[in-house]
Amino acid sequence: MKKGYLVKELKMDEFKDLKYLSTKYIANRNKDLENKTVQWLKIKRLHFEKSIPNVVYFSYQSQGSYRELHVYEKTAGRPESICLNNFTPLSYV
């Protein structure tokens, strides 16, 4: 017998809008460490390490090595100042 899904119904105040954070903190979504364009729709695996929060490891195959995407590094342009006065951090369950 298969296990069923555990469903938790969320209220409106439990949703967080992370668009502001993504525009301020994620500076690079397009180029990997080898300066190749990331093809998001072809990614089959994502890997994250708590000790390296600015790196997203991804792979286009279901097995094999990962490629690296450094999300905090800007590829061009001026640095921006960041203000987090109205930010409420997420709570992890």
Q: What is the pLDDT of residue 79?
A: 54
How far is Cα 25 from Cα 71, in angstroms, rounded to an integer? 8
Are 78 and 60 in contact, with CB atoms under 8 Å apart?
Answer: no
Residue 78 has pLDDT above 70, yes or no: no
Among candidates 43, 22, 27, which has minimal Cα distance to 78? 27
* Average pLDDT over every residue of 51-78: 84
Q: What pLDDT is attached to residue 44?
A: 94
Which token pair is 61?
């195959």
Q: Who wins on pLDDT, 59 or 6?
A: 59
Q: Look up the pTM and report it.
A: 0.57
Q: Where are the domains of the chain?
A: 16-70
Are the C-beta atoms of residues 31 and 37 closer than 8 Å to each other? yes
* Res 77 pLDDT > 70: no
The pLDDT, as a whole number, for residue 93 is 46
In the predicted model, what is the mean pLDDT of residues 39-65? 92
Would you list the DSSP string of 30-80?
SB-TTSPBP-GGG--EEEEETTEEEEEEEESSSSS--EEEETT--SSS---
